[in-house]
């Protein structure tokens, strides 16, 4: 018999997962994604994306590596310097970190916009409602009166007063094409993605190679810490961050455990 605390394989409720369990974070993540599919906010494709992410997280040692913490700090500085920062939310993000996204939006003065690869009116509304239940006051994305150039119509839709006019966008777990199209619009793009080789991470001004479960609260923590910093200090943080170096450090951590 192992001494590991026993837990139900498919917990009905998060509170059934003991925090002392060695795989607590991973079990919590799986539970949230499964629940997201059950309530119609996460697509079945989202389960596959999560599996891919978990494999990278395992190789990273399920921790926030130093370069990802630097990236989180640079992301926070970008948010605080921005005129109009927006956090883009898809089905996996809504399932995994709804409350955490709202806390970040508050700390960073950002808007929240639902933006889906597999866009249906119903899923858009279910996600917006889910975020409202977690305390979001204004959720954008349903107006869809603007487009990201260079993408086909259905996947390009954004709100003109949201992502359309944002200067800094956080796009966690995004597909490569859209990440590239957004950065081609000249926006500062912060990507959260556990795969440093993903085209999304490669297109980012600030790639945060970390699990979204850890990364979003970490960016919030940095934003709160930097709340009263001078603009010159924020600019210095932004300028000292190099995306190439951060991606290389993440790849080294994965390949060699450094």
Residues making up the annotated binding site for ATP are 30, 52, 193-195, 199-200, 211-212
Beta pairing partners, 88: 113
* Cα distance between residue 128 and residue 140, in whole Å: 8
| Nearest to Mg ion of 40, 176 (CB atom) | 176
- Choose the contact partner of 56 out of Mg ion, ligand ATP, none; CB within 5 to 8 A by kind: ligand ATP
CA atoms in the 13 A half-sphere facing the CB of 209: 30
Closer of 52 and 84 to Mg ion (Cβ): 52
Q: Are 157 and 163 in contact (CB under 8 A)?
A: no
Q: Where do contacts with Mg ion occur on this chain (CB under 5 A)?
A: 176, 198, 200
Cα 46 off chain centre by: 13
Instruction: Quote the least distance from Cβ 50 to ligand ATP, whole Å.
Output: 5
**CB of residue 161 vs ligand ATP: minimum separation in angstroms?**
27
158 binds, among Mg ion, ligand ATP, none (CB under 5 to 8 A by kind): none
The listed partner (Mg ion, ligand ATP, none) that binds 115, CB under 5 to 8 Å by sort, is none
Q: Which is nearer to ligand ATP, 56 or 241 (CB)?
A: 56
Binding residues for ligand ATP, per CB under 6 A? 49-50, 52-53, 56, 96, 173, 175-176, 192-195, 198-200, 211-212
Q: Could you say which of Mg ion, ligand ATP, none residue 50 binds, taking C-beta under 5 to 8 angstroms by partner kind?
A: ligand ATP
- How far apart are CB 200 and ligand ATP at their closest, in Å? 4
Of Mg ion, ligand ATP, none, which one sits near residue 170, judging by CB under 5 to 8 A according to partner kind? none
Q: Which is nearer to Mg ion, 84 or 199 (CB)?
A: 199
**Binding site: residue ranges?**
30, 52, 193-195, 199-200, 211-212
The span from the CA of 164 to the CA of 244, in Å, is: 27
Two structure tokens written together for 118? 């597999």
Q: State the Cα–Cα distance between residues 175 and 46, nearest whole angstrom.
A: 11
């Amino acid at each position: 018999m192992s001494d590991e605390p026993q837990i139900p394989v498919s917990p009905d409720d998060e509170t059934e997962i003991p925090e002392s369990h060695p795989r607590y974070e991973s079990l919590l993540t799986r539970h949230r994604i499964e629940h997201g599919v059950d309530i119609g906010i996460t697509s079945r494709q989202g389960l596959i994306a999560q599996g891919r992410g978990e494999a990278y997280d395992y190789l990273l040692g399920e921790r926030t590596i130093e370069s990802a913490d630097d990236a989180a700090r640079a992301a926070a500085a970008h948010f605080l310097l921005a005129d109009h920062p927006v956090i883009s939310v898809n089905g996996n993000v809504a399932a995994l970190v709804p409350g955490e996204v709202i806390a970040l939006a508050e700390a960073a003065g950002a808007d929240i916009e639902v933006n889906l690869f597999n866009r249906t009116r119903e899923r858009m509304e279910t996600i917006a409602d889910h975020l409202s239940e977690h305390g979001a006051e204004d959720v954008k994305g349903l107006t869809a009166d603007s487009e990201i150039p260079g993408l086909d119509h259905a996947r390009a839709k954004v709100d003109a007063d949201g992502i359309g006019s944002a200067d800094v966008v956080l796009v966690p777990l995004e597909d490569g094409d859209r990440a590239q199209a957004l950065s081609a619009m000249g926006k500062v793009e912060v990507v959260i993605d556990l795969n440093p080789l993903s085209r999304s991470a490669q297109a980012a001004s600030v790639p945060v190679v970390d699990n979204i479960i850890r990364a979003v609260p970490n960016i919030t923590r940095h934003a709160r810490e930097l709340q009263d910093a001078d603009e010159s200090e924020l600019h210095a943080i932004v300028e000292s961050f190099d995306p190439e170096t951060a991606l290389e450090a993440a790849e080294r951590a994965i390949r060699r455990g450094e």
